[in-house]
Amino acid sequence: MTVETTTSVTGLRNRPFGAARSERWSQLAPYAALAAIAAVLPWIGNEYWAVIGTRAAIYWVLVAGLNLIVGFAGQLAIGYVALLTLGAYTTSVLVAGNVIPAVPLPLAFGAATVIGAVFGLVVGLPALRLRTFYFAMSTLGFATIVTQIALAWKSVTGGGIGIVAPEFPAPFNTPWGFYGFCLIVAAIATWMSANVAHSRFGRALVAIRDAEVAAEANGISKVQFLVPVFLLGGAMAGIAGGLFATLQTYVTPDAFTFDLSVLFFIAILIGGRGSILGPLLGTILLTILPEFAAPLAAWSTFLYAVLLLVIVLAVPGGIADLIDFKNRRPLTDAREIQPQPALLSRVIARQPGSQPLSLRNVVLAFGGVRALDGLDLDVQPGRVHGLIGPNGSGKTTALNVISGYYAPQNGSVALGGATLELGHPESRASHGIARTFQTPRIVGEASVLENVMIGATVTGRATFLETLLALPRRATDERVLKAKATAALTAVGLETLADIRANRLQHSELRFVEIARALMLSPAFLLLDEPAAGLSADEIDRLGSLITEISRQGTGVLLVEHHADLIFAICERVTVLNLGRVLAEGAAAEIRVHKEVVSAYLGA
Amino acid sequence: MPTLAPEIPIPGTSPQVLLDVQSVEAGYGKIGVLHGVSITVYAGEVVSLLGPNGAGKTTLLRAISGLLPLTGGRLRFDARDITGSGPRETARAGLVHVIEGHRVFTQQTIADNMLLAGYDVPRRERALRIEQALAYFPEIASRLQVLGGALSGGQQQMLVVAQGLVRRPRLLMLDEPSAGLAPVLVDRVLDVIGELKQQGTAILLVEQLVEKAISRSDRVYAITRGRIVLEAAAATPDLPRRLEHAYFGHTDAAIPPAV
Amino acid sequence: MDFGATLLPILASGLAVGAIYALIGVTYNTMYSTSRVMSFTSGQLGMLGGVLGSLFILRLGMPLIVGFVLTIMACAIVGVVTEFIAVRPVLKSLDQHLYVLSTLALALMIQQFTAIEWSTEPQPFPRLFGLGSGSFDEKFWLPVAACAFTIGALELMQRHTLVGRAFLAVSEDNFAARSLGLPERNLRIASYALAGAIGGLAGFAGGELMLAFFANGGQYNFYGFVPVALGGLGNNRGSIVGGLALGLFQQAANFLVGGVFASVAVFIAFIIVLLAAPQGLFGTSTARRV
């Protein structure tokens, strides 16, 4: 295949150096504008405006954290007002000294942060195991209970009468002074949540939300990525609670109605999932809206609910979608995928391995049906191995056993000398086993480049804390991943679509995006599940050359495929399955003429 | 790609077109599976639809019966346009689809499963029709109070075919009725096709067991990658070789040497 | 323990609230069976049963039977509205869980509308028959009777009517039901109407005990969901057992250690059971994901 420069298909020509910088500025511009407005507010507004501005800033401190949980990770935590309540009572009770001797204000805020984080995790834990609706319910139940306790535990919380909130020292004890303080906290919250969002952590959260199965195949375990975010979200809610108490001057249970939870939640959805600017605008909007429509104040929650329904049904993408002008530009229809297999060496660059991937006597039954009935299979590194057979013969099941989605009742899967843990899909990426899916599992709302970067999540070096504080390793990670993802996209022939939102791509393009994502691991073994389905004849030819070249780089490829011509064109060995067992195995040329195979595969 | 065989005359009087599928396109989400499929079924004939896995056979049946919306093309049944009709309308019109996988309602008895199949049939006629449909399968007709889930795969397949017959179809579409059945039962189920044909019911059959399918058919279509690549009379002498040829889409010379 | 003074009231009130929770659980299940959607409007329907009963009979002075029929009909309509507004538009993308948000939005609208147009304070519910007193007062046994009636009627319907069998069929295998030509969409609408009626009946029968109060909706939502979660989605018998057990547990804790700790205990038990058995105590895992 000739390597030629691909023509730009999106209208976004290869941009000159420096365009990236100007794009960065255009991304920051809205935040700068908001900061400017916030800064001039004291000169144009009265103290009433100071209170509203402060309230918006405090809400945002909570929403910025919650946004990572709801907007990015897609976990429907709807009772977050409970953590605000906890934070408010923690600072008030500690500073008032009605339980233990009074503590200084900063220490009280420290305690609110810790308690927020701990309960953020406790409330979040069910999300690691339960289905969406169950999790939503458990957060709702938690919110109800916190309010009930606040009412009933009179000796600590003052019950329905409430408790005096801590006062800030000068210069933060005036409305505008406190406004300034909250603004600074809100700015820090924005910065931190952006640091997380634009990192492997943020992309992993979005993958958990939109492509959970693919996330696991890429080594993203829910525990590892959700726990730090629950801690962060809880901590930020705790801090917001402390600030909220001071703003209220007096803390009573009825200040923390479920309506507030709804407001936080809707601010994120109006803003748009997976965005930071959107939910920020949403928070500001929802905070000031009732002020403009005073006669409707009683109806505000009703209107929020109407808004929520309209958003869900009409604009699931929220504000972020409406202001995403970049993805409005039409793509040309006549675009071709032109892989450049010659460039693969830049992506894979692995030492040719010598260890085979082997299955021994694998038995897996669903109910009474034996999907795999004593399967033995050896895939050699650097070879293309075809796996064919009639429907229900166990091809995809075998793939799912190797990649850990199914735990067989018997048998073993080993990579060289190392036995792989059965039934742990998130452990495969670190063994260098990557895969694609029959139906591409892609994060539709993320860009193509981000989707590909998800493939190398496990290779990132920066910890969550380093990422949160933007320490140097975060930037290094980003640079390395981006360069590699660009190389992978170029190799599969999609580099011109890198910035495009993935759900705008055609089906065939998504298949190549999945391959690029899988290549990010520099995999020792690549499992392809019907990669040619839905491709045109030309595309299948190009896919074939790409797969052949991948194997030449040292990666062993296991190819499950229905297109017999592709199998026999590129596979060195072919295994034929029937009824969960090996019907025949051998060099492709032998299998091609094997009478029994031809009849079983074609069905006669 | 082999050229399509010329129109094959049906023996007897001038054939009446029962089902006319014109350039149908359909798929799942963004994945196009059928790319302009056209087939015809005449009244009272048995037609087999053959092809490798993933070729689009099941998708085509679903598109015809309205279980899957079309993205292009037209459907005519019994001289009426049924493009865009749902499964309920097509079943009422006499176009019945027995889906693959013998999906009976496991928590309900055979009798109840049959009653459900006659949901739209007038109450007075229901019992009679159920009795007539079950007459083809004495094996299950004698066990009316057994739960669907307690039946063997073969009996479940008989049950779903009987369910289809309650509608008194003019065209019965069977999707892999032999899948997962013991060899004895395969013949048992497929032999009913002959009986139905004698009653004047047309059959559109999707089968993996190519030889068995051909032996019971008047005509065959072969489909690969969502396109019809062959149409032939079932009696064509070298049909198996031509089918294999059509599936692989290449001449033998084009098959690459072993690496 | 003194039977008359402690145990009997616990039993009476426990079974009563338990029966209400169980019926709300059945409401969840009925909607779920034809649509695979858990709707936040289930608890609101119970709340509406109480509020509308009070509105029609006390405030508008209608005869008991007229008020009852109108309440049930209105709740059935709210059920159908749920299907049209909050369920059908998001059915195509069940895996995105948009239904959690759309039904939550509708539930909030119902609750807020009631709070504003009815009252934010608990309002009295009419004395229906004036039968019994003490622990045998009708306010305790009416919910239990309503629960028993509903279960009996549902069983009869599923065993002896074609529509009932069709519900079961759609709930077991929607695709196969459609291929048979069953009117799947109409059955779904009907199941939402039925769910509305059951929810309304729960609130009406429990009206004397729980009063006509807008905030009952949220309570019913949570406490009605607990038996569903414990019993396994779509399992009515599990919901009944779970609901009655929950009611007894809650009321016992209420009498013995006080209301707040009863709520905390229920919540903690709920989380622990779910974490240990995510499919519920009587449910089975069937989902294949890949």
Contact C39, C217 (CB under 8 A): no
Å between B85 CA and nearest CA of chain C? 11
Q: Are residues A139 and A185 in the same domain?
A: yes
Report the range of poorest mean pLDDT among A141-150, A400-409, A553-562, C252-261. C252-261
What does pLDDT average to over chain A?
A: 88
φ, ψ of residue A424 to 5 degrees: the values are -130, 80
Instruction: Take residue C245 and report the two structure tokens written for it.
Output: 């057990």
Task: Let me know whether A207 and A72 are in one domain.
Answer: yes
Looking at residue A351, what is its pLDDT? 66
A496 and A571 belong to one structural domain: yes
**Per-residue pLDDT for C139 more than 80?**
yes
Same domain (yes/no): A385, A457: yes
Greater model confidence, A26 or A229: A229
Sign of the CA dihedral with C206 first, then C207, C213, and C217 last: positive
Q: What contacts A437, CB < 8 A, 6 or more positions away?
A: A213, A214, A217, A514, A529, C290
**Residue pair A394/A577 in contact by the 8 Å Cβ criterion:** yes
The token pair at A196 is 């997380």
Q: Is the pLDDT of residue C286 over 60?
A: no
Q: What is the pTM of this model?
A: 0.86
Q: Which CATH number goes with the domain that contains A519?
A: 3.40.50.300
- pLDDT tens readout for residues B219-237: 999 998 889 999 999 988 8
Chains touching C (at least 3 CB pairs under 8 A) are: A, B
Question: Residue A250 in contact with residue A18, Cβ under 8 Å?
Answer: no
Q: What angle do CA B34, B38, B41 make, to 5 degrees?
A: 125
Assembly ipTM: 0.89
Q: Give the three-class secondary structure for A513.
A: helix
A327 has pLDDT over 80: no
Number of domains in chain A: 2
Query: Which residues are CB-neighbours of A111 under 8 A, at least 6 positions away?
Result: A90, A91, A94, A103
**Closest chain A C-alpha to B87 CA, distance in angstroms:** 25
Average pLDDT over residues A553-573: 90
Residues B24, B223 contacting (CB under 8 angstroms): no
Amino acid (one-letter) located at B182: A
| Same domain for A277 and A152 | yes
Would the pLDDT of B86 be above 50?
Answer: yes
Report whether B25 contacts B73 (CB < 8 A).
yes
Order of strands, edge to edge, in the sheet holding A581-587?
A433-435, A525-529, A556-560, A384-388, A573-578, A581-587
Q: List CB contacts (< 8 A) between C222 and chain A.
A: 137, 140-141, 144
CA distance B176 to chain A (A): 11
Task: Please judge whether B88 and C182 are an interchain contact, meaning their C-beta atoms are less than 8 angstroms apart.
Answer: yes
Tell whether A575 is covered by a domain: yes
Residue A13 CA to residue A16 CA, distance in Å, equals 9
Residues A429, A569 within the same domain: yes
State which H helix or E strand residue A56 sits in: helix A47-67
Q: Mean pLDDT over residues C182-196, rounded?
A: 95
More confident residue, B178 or A377: A377
Q: Encode pLDDT of A462-488 as tens digits.
A: 999 999 999 999 999 999 999 999 999
Q: C283 pLDDT band (50/70/90 cuts)?
A: low
The pLDDT assigned to A600 comes to 59
Amino acid in position A224 = Q
Chain B contact set for A587 (CB, 8 A) = 258-259
Tell me whether C177 touches chain B (CB under 8 Å).
yes
- Smallest CA-to-CA distance from A404 within A419, A424, A420, A432 is with A424
Asked if the model's pLDDT at residue A326 lies above 70, the reply is yes
Written as one string, the DSSP assignment of C19-43 is HHHHHHHHHHHHHHHHH----THHH
**What's the whole-number mean pLDDT along residues A3-26?**
49
Share of chain B above pLDDT 90, in %: 62
Cβ atoms A347, C129 nearer than 8 A: no
Amino acid sitting at position A70: V
Highest-confidence segment of A4-13, A244-253, B145-154 = A244-253
Contact B30 A507 (CB under 8 A): yes
Residue of B nearest to A562 (CA): B53
Cβ separation of B53 and A391 shorter than 8 Å?
A: yes
Residues 173-212 of B with CB under 8 A from A: 179-180, 207-211
Residue A274 shares a structural domain with residue A176: yes
Residue A20 pLDDT grade (very low, low, confident, very high; cuts 50, 70, 90): low
Residue C3 is predicted with a pLDDT of 58
CA-CA distance, C53 to C67, in Å (whole number)? 6
Across the strands, what pairs with B74? B22
The residue ranking higher by pLDDT, A31 or B180, is: A31
Q: What is the pLDDT of residue B166?
A: 94
Indicate if the pLDDT at residue C150 is higher than 90: yes
> What is the average per-residue pLDDT within B160-182?
90
User: Is the pLDDT at A204 greater than 90, yes or no?
Assistant: yes
Under a CB-based contact definition with an 8 Å cutoff, are residues B131 and B168 in contact? no
Q: In the structure, what pLDDT confidence band is assigned to residue C288 with cuts at 50, 70 and 90? A: very low
Label the pairing between strands B46-50 and A410-415: unpaired
Residue B80 has pLDDT above 70, yes or no: yes
C63/A contact by beta carbon, under 8 A? no
Name the band, by pLDDT with cuts 50, 70 and 90, for residue B258: very low
Would residue A13 count as lying in a domain? Answer: no
Residue C71: what pLDDT?
A: 98
Q: What is the mean pLDDT of residues A152-174?
A: 90
Same structural domain, A591 and A497 = yes
Q: Is C166 on the interface with B (CB under 8 A)?
A: yes
Q: What percent of chain A has pLDDT over 90?
A: 55
Q: What chain C residue is nearest to B116 in terms of C-alpha separation?
A: C166
CATH code: domain of residue A36? 1.10.3470
Task: Please name the residue of chain B whose CA is at the shortest distance from the CA of residue C171.
Answer: B105
Size of interface B-C (CB pairs under 8 A): 58
pLDDT digits (tens, 9 = 90+) for A47-97: 899 999 999 999 999 999 999 999 999 898 988 999 999 999 999 999 998
Note the pLDDT of residue A308: 87
- Number of cross-chain residue pairs from A and C with Cβ atoms under 8 Å apart: 109
- SS percent in chain A: helix, strand, coil, step 5: 60, 10, 30
- Amino acid identity of A503? N
pLDDT reported for residue A602: 53
pLDDT digits (tens, 9 = 90+) for A271-301: 888 889 999 999 999 898 888 777 777 788 8
Mean pLDDT, residues A116-134: 87
> Is A448 within the bounds of a domain?
yes
Of B92, B99, B116, the CB nearest to C165: B116
- A390 vs B contacts (CB less than 8 Å): 53, 208
Q: Does C38 touch chain A (CB under 8 A)?
A: yes
User: Which residues form the domain of A92?
Assistant: 21-323
State chain B's mean pLDDT as an integer. 86
Mean pLDDT is lowest, of A27-36, A511-520, C147-156, C191-200, for A27-36
> Which domains are delineated in chain C?
12-276 (1.10.3470)
| pLDDT tens for each residue of A424-464 | 899 999 999 999 998 899 998 899 999 999 999 999 999 99
Same domain, A530 and A572: yes
- pLDDT surpassing 70 at residue A269: yes
Taking residues C132-152, report their average pLDDT. Answer: 93
- In this complex, is the C-beta atom of B152 within 8 Å of any C-beta atom belonging to chain A? no
pLDDT mean over B146-159: 90
Residues of chain B contacting C168 with CB distance shorter than 8 Å: 105, 107-108
Which of A76, A129, A301 minimises the CB distance to C275?
Answer: A129
Task: Say if residue B9's pLDDT is above 70.
Answer: no
Are the Cβ atoms of C100 and A136 closer than 8 angstroms?
Answer: yes
**A312 and A355 co-located in one domain:** no
Distance CA A316, CA A313 (A): 7
Type and span of the H or E element at C179 = helix C174-179
Q: How many CB atoms lie within 10 A of CB C257?
A: 12
Superfamily of domain B17-102+170-251: P-loop containing nucleotide triphosphate hydrolases (3.40.50.300)
E-strand stretches of A225-282 = 250-251
Per-residue model confidence (pLDDT) at position B251 = 39
Instruction: Compare CB distances from C89 to A131, A134, A313 and report the shortest one's residue.
Output: A313
Residue B81 distance to chain C (closest CA, Å): 18
Final residue of a structural domain among A297, A323, A349: A323
A6 pLDDT band (50/70/90 cuts)? very low
Residue C215 contacts A where some CB pair is shorter than 8 Å:
no
Whether residue A565 is predicted with pLDDT greater than 60 in this model: the reply is yes
Share of chain A above pLDDT 70, in %: 93
Q: What is the dihedral of CA C50, C51, C52, C55, to 10 degrees?
A: 120
Q: Which residues of A touch B (CB under 8 A)?
A: 390-392, 439, 506-507, 510, 530, 533-534, 562-565, 568-569, 572, 587-590, 592, 598, 601-604
